[in-house]
Structure 1
Amino acid sequence: MDQGGVPRAGDQSREEARAEARLTAARLSGEGVVALALTWVDNAGIARVKGVPLRRLAEAAVEGVGMSPVFDVFLVDDTITTSRYLGGPDGDLRLFPALDRAVPLAAQPGWAFAPADRYRQDGLPHPACQRRFAARMVERAAERGLSFRAAFETEWIVRRADEDGLPTDGLPTDGPAYGLHRVTDCSDYLRDLLLALEAQGLTVQQIHPEYSAGQFEVSVAARDALGAADDAVLVRATIRGVSARHGLRASFAPAFEPGGVGNGGHLHLSAWREDRNLLAGQALTRDGEAFLAGVLRELPALLALGAPSPASYLRLVPSHWAGCFQCWGVENREAALRLVQGPDEQANVEVKCFDQAANPYLAVGGVIAAGLAGLDAEAVLPEPVQGDPALLPPERQPARLPTGLDETLTAFRASTVLRDALGDVLFEAVAAVRAAENAAYGGQPSGAVIAATRWRY
């Protein structure tokens, strides 16, 4: 904080922040941008926003943009709970845009996207800032000589929208799962999506139809862990924008219809020391094994970050490739942790039990924290599971992960690893939101839960 008491963005001085903002504003203005969407993701997994005119970017970068800390206890339906530390009308925070991540939104002309970090009025980081939490875990790993490459898969389901933009029951395609028919029917839509993502600097690895009717998946290239979470927010915003321009409405909800296969949000992550991928090779390195063992041990608690909605547990069912058993396996799509082998630079672990109700910053930060705890404990993996765990004899079946948010909340509250990593303020805010959403929706029939959440994520 400078002598005037105004918080600064990161380690920059006011002058440095102002200079960077002016350069960013000039760049964005040259691409037709007139407003910047400063985004953060709350503990219910909803991306929230404050917009500023581009002409005010320098002021926003130096002074920040005001917002209430009460957003940390918003629920998915916009009702508000309280936690031990947060809630009520008092207090204020400052949003600072990450200018190095500012990018014009190709499907929303005139607008640009920038993730935001949240600071207190005295210039210190807000202890419940989810993006800063992910950054802290990356920094904690760097102290041990570790870095990460990460990416989130994005699955979504589209339906036709009416003239008011509201979703209907109309399908844009009746093509079969994974079928070329579906790509043919939606070729203009998918082409425009690819063009928009690439225009925003994202490298698309693949795009394809998924299992459910009207469902698609896109994967972008891995990058640093914090950047991967930023990309997850940007990809979804882009899908929404392109969908709207094609008269469609996109849903990223974990469960879209009773009995159906919902949308996953699988996290892929590899851990590196210097130039060596700890998860590569036919035999895991000792540190690679300890990292994965730490994640596996914390999975029941990690679901509070990666599968946080009452709707998440309608997706986490056996024999649906959702990863509902607490086990790992080599290339096993039924295991909660799937070890993906291949060229050394591409080997990674896929956390299959996560979905897109998750705040991606909490998800990636929590996985890193759990893995580091495994390293500290020199944890050891059990034997990998082959085949569908649900078909194994009962005595050989691994433990089921929690089957409801109430079980997950119990595991989360008992996790000293995640409390230490998140800090009391953020930990209690997450727990309060989970408890309130479980109270509101946990006892409702699946159809009611789906109807309440289908178009929120």
Structure 2
Amino acid sequence: MRSESGRPGGLADPVPGGRPGDVELAEELSARLAGAGVKGIAFCYVDTAGITRVKGVATAALAAAAKWGVGMSPIFDIMLADGSIPPADRLGGPVGDLRLYPDLGQLTALAGQPGWAWAPLDRIEQGGSVHPGCSRTLLRHLQSRLQDEGLDFQAAIEIEFVLARGDTPADEFVPACGGPAYGMTRMIEMTAFTEDLLAALATQGTEVHQLHPEYAPGQFELSVGALDPVRAADRSVLVRQTVRAIAGRHALRVSFAPSVVAGEVGNGGHVHLSAWRDGVNLFAGGSGRYGLTGAGEGMAAGVLEALPALAVLATPSPSSFLRLGPTRWSGAYGCWGYENREAALRLVRGSIGQQADAANIEVKCADLAANPYLLLAGLLFAARDGLTRGLNLPAEVTVDPASLSHEELARDEIRRLPTTMTQALDEFARRPDLQACLGPTLTEAIIAVRRGEAARMADAEPAAVAAAYRWVY
């Protein structure tokens, strides 16, 4: 699962006045974009609830933004999916301001939104220090530390989504196509949409591996090429925005929510992760099971062990727990297996002749309500932890774990992953090392937002929970 563009250079933290060369580059980009008819730039970041927030600037203001940033309140770090704000000591209230700095290297003209461009953000305090609640900065710093230790990670996030008719009332869901699961009929029905989507992604430089109908009514899956973790998270955000923009141009609505209709298969956001040292894939070519190296097995075991605590990052919405059920290929059990799509951690080797590049681990329990920067940071932390401690994988599960008896599950220490937000928070509390990696500000924000979402859905029936988040994600 090697990236198509190799190891990136490090990106320094933003500073008031701009990093060396940033203002000049911004002036050049601004002129180029204006010449191409781009009028505005969407500066985007993802908050703790998994919502992409935006500040738009005129194209002519790009250089000023690169020099002095754009203001935004830190309150969004604890805003819930419905816009309500729970209490939090570090981030609550109307006081305070942050500066948003665009990553000019990722600035992209939007093929699905003519006249607009897009850039991901890092956030700093007005005094110039790093904002401790910035998940992109957290991931970038962690990635840089691992590179200094000789480890390069590559990641890709699968994107599942459901297309709905756009001419129905806002509180209704009517699939946009009626073809069978995985069927060519559905692809034919959506020919115009899929053609325009692939064209837009190609124009934006996104490597698409697969686009095909999925299981649920109106559902599709889009698989993209691997990048370093920061750019993989950026890509996940940008691709979803592109899907939504193209859908809107075809009078369609799109949902990335974990559960679109309660009781049906939901949308996943499976994460593929590989680790490299000196250009060698640590999940291939070793003497361990299925070619795992000792380092690769340690990292896989670290991720597996941490999955219950990582639920607050991977399955962060009440809607997530409607999706995360047995016999749905959602990875509901904390176990691993070679090409086992019911295991939360799936080992993928690739075809003979391809394994040295393709071998990776897939985290199947994750969904697209997750902030991808937080999720990838949690996975990198867990992988490094497993490597440092020299962990070994437990016994492999070669069947659907839901088919095992209680005695067999207990014997092999296989547990369901958290089925409620309360359970997820309890597991998170048992990993102070993970909390230390995230830092006190992000930890407080995560706990406040997860408790707030759980409280507002406490008495809701599954159908109401699905409806509450259906068009949010």
TM-score (ref. length: structure 1):
0.96
Kept in 2: contact 1:291–1:371 (CA 8 A): yes
Residue 26 of structure 1: how far off its partner (Å): 2.2
Aligned residue-pair number: 450
Kept in 1: contact 2:13–2:130 (CA 8 A): no
**Corresponding position of 2:420:** 404
Residue 440 of structure 1: how far off its partner (Å): 1.1
Cα distance in structure 2, aligned partners of 1:300 and 1:30: 50
RMSD over equivalenced CA pairs, Å: 1.6
Residue 167 of structure 1: how far off its partner (Å): 7.1
**Corresponding position of 2:379:** 367
Correspondence for 2:181 among 177, 183, 196: 177
**Corresponding position of 2:348:** 340
Paired amino acid for 2:280: R
Alignment CA distance shift 1:209-1:8 (3 Å): closer
**Superposed CA offset, 1:205-231 (max 9, x none):** 010000011110101110111100000
- After TM superposition, the structure 1 = structure 2 runs for residues 49-448 of structure 1, keeping only pairs within 5 Å, are 49-162=54-167, 166=170, 168-281=172-285, 282-342=290-350, 343-397=355-409, 398-448=414-464
Alignment CA distance shift 1:372-1:443 (3 Å): farther
Paired amino acid for 2:117: A
Residue 171 of structure 1: how far off its partner (Å): 2.9
Alignment CA distance shift 1:378-1:84 (3 Å): farther
SS at match of 1:119: strand
Cα distance in structure 1, aligned partners of 2:29 and 2:311: 38
Cα distance in structure 2, aligned partners of 1:167 and 1:177: 24
SS at match of 1:323: coil
Kept in 2: contact 1:294–1:375 (CA 8 A): yes
Paired amino acid for 1:136: H
Kept in 2: contact 1:373–1:417 (CA 8 A): no
Residue 14 of structure 1: how far off its partner (Å): 5.3
Cα distance in structure 2, aligned partners of 1:445 and 1:143: 49
**Corresponding position of 1:3:** none
Cα distance in structure 1, aligned partners of 2:449 and 2:266: 22
Kept in 1: contact 2:78–2:91 (CA 8 A): yes
Residue 291 of structure 1: how far off its partner (Å): 0.7
Gaps of 5+ in 2: 1-11
SS at match of 1:59: helix
Kept in 1: contact 2:302–2:384 (CA 8 A): yes
Residue 168 of structure 1: how far off its partner (Å): 5.0
Kept in 2: contact 1:72–1:128 (CA 8 A): yes
Alignment CA distance shift 1:298-1:14 (3 Å): closer
**Corresponding position of 2:25:** 20
Cα distance in structure 1, aligned partners of 2:407 and 2:279: 41
Alignment CA distance shift 1:146-1:179 (3 Å): same
Residue 15 of structure 1: how far off its partner (Å): 5.6
Paired amino acid for 1:82: P
Kept in 2: contact 1:255–1:315 (CA 8 A): yes
Cα distance in structure 2, aligned partners of 1:171 and 1:256: 10
Cα distance in structure 1, aligned partners of 2:190 and 2:51: 27
Cα distance in structure 1, aligned partners of 2:292 and 2:155: 18
Kept in 2: contact 1:84–1:429 (CA 8 A): no
Alignment CA distance shift 1:11-1:223 (3 Å): farther
Range 49-58 or range 77-86, more displaced = 77-86
Paired amino acid for 1:276: V
**Superposed CA offset, 1:277-297 (max 9, x none):** 111143211111111111111
**Superposed CA offset, 1:12-44 (max 9, x none):** 855622101112212322322110000000000
Alignment CA distance shift 1:170-1:192 (3 Å): same
Paired amino acid for 1:345: D
Identity of aligned pairs, percent? 49
Residue 9 of structure 1: how far off its partner (Å): 2.2
Cα distance in structure 2, aligned partners of 1:329 and 1:146: 24
Alignment CA distance shift 1:277-1:443 (3 Å): farther
Residue 143 of structure 1: how far off its partner (Å): 2.6
SS at match of 2:32: helix
Residue 169 of structure 1: how far off its partner (Å): 3.8
Kept in 2: contact 1:159–1:171 (CA 8 A): yes
Kept in 2: contact 1:9–1:17 (CA 8 A): no
Kept in 1: contact 2:146–2:152 (CA 8 A): yes
Cα distance in structure 2, aligned partners of 1:396 and 1:275: 40
Kept in 1: contact 2:16–2:128 (CA 8 A): no
Cα distance in structure 2, aligned partners of 1:26 and 1:285: 49
**Superposed CA offset, 1:121-164 (max 9, x none):** 1111100101011112212211321011110000000111129x
Paired amino acid for 1:436: G
Paired amino acid for 1:160: R
Alignment CA distance shift 1:169-1:411 (3 Å): closer
SS at match of 1:318: coil
SS at match of 1:226: helix
**Corresponding position of 2:9:** none
